[in-house]
Amino acid sequence: MFTSRLQDWVRSGARRVVPALRALHLTPNILTMLGLCICAGSAVLIALGFLLPGGLLLLIASGFDILDGALARVSGREQRYGAFLDSTVDRYAEAMTSIALLYYFIFHGHHTLEPMLVVFALTGSLLVSYVRARAQSLGFNGDGGLLARPERVVITVIGLVVAPLLIWALWILAILTNVTAVQRIWVVWQQARRMAAESRSASGVTTG
């Protein structure tokens, strides 16, 4: 799966800079917030029409999303609040980028197609994350699907850095994020059916 390979490759490189981060007394939560601040700067550039630097800055911000987890694991500071903060900040980061794209398209004369694609892409992205979180809260595994966050970031960055591909990136995000949400709903439904069948089978054995 692309997500796993990408994360493993980036994390292997991230571990090399963890000692320097620890020497600077940076905590995983500080890195998370720094990444959000950089993403905000990227959003400002995108909204103003500076797509290339905005895309590159978004790529740097996504690197902080990897570094905070790597630092937490290496330093033994993995905490539930840190995971909660990281997930919440990720949603804000995606929303910032989408709002910046909406601003850019609306104020550059694109009044219909592109803004709608951004809305559909953001809706799908948020649903992908929500389905996973809600599934986990109920004891299911809500992972999987075509476009997890790393893929979404990569596609967005490519669209921003190579401007002619931006409309295609938005089409991909608008469609495949929602497909991913449906995939996860299907996976959870299958798990629920399997658990219900196992429960009925266990109940039958007990009462028999």
| Catalytic residue ranges | 90
Q: Which residues make Cβ contacts (< 8 Å) with residue 75, sequence separation at least 6? A: 18, 22, 28
Annotate 12-56 with three-state secondary structure: HHHHHHHHHHHHCCCCHHHHHHHHHHHHHHHHHHHHCCCHHHHHH
At 155, list the tokens. Answer: 């596609």
